[in-house]
Amino acid sequence: MRMKAAILEELNKPLKIEEVELDDPKDEEVLVRLVATGVCHSDLHVIKGDMGVPLPVVLGHEGAGIVEKVGRCVTEVKPGDKVICSVTSYCGKCRSCLVGKPYTCERVPVTAMIYGSMADGTMRLRRRNGEPLYHFLCQASFAEYAVVEEEAAVKVRDDAPLDVVCLLACGASTGIGAVVNKAKVEAGSSVAVFGCGGIGLSAIMASYLVGALRIFAVDVLESKLDMARQLGATFTIEAWRFMGDMVLTGCAAGCLRPRYDIPRYVDLFMAGKLPLDKLVSGRYLLRRINDAIQDALDGKIIRGVITF
Residues recognised as catalytic: 40, 42, 45, 61, 170
CB atoms within 10 A of CB 294: 15
Q: What is the Cα–Cα distance from 212 to 172, expressed in whole angstroms?
A: 18
Q: What is the per-residue burial (b if ≥16 Cβ within 10 Å, else e) of 259-293?
A: bebbbebbebbbeeebbbeebbbbebebebbbebb
CB 162 within 8 A of CB 36: yes
- Torsion 124-128-129-134 (CA) sign: negative
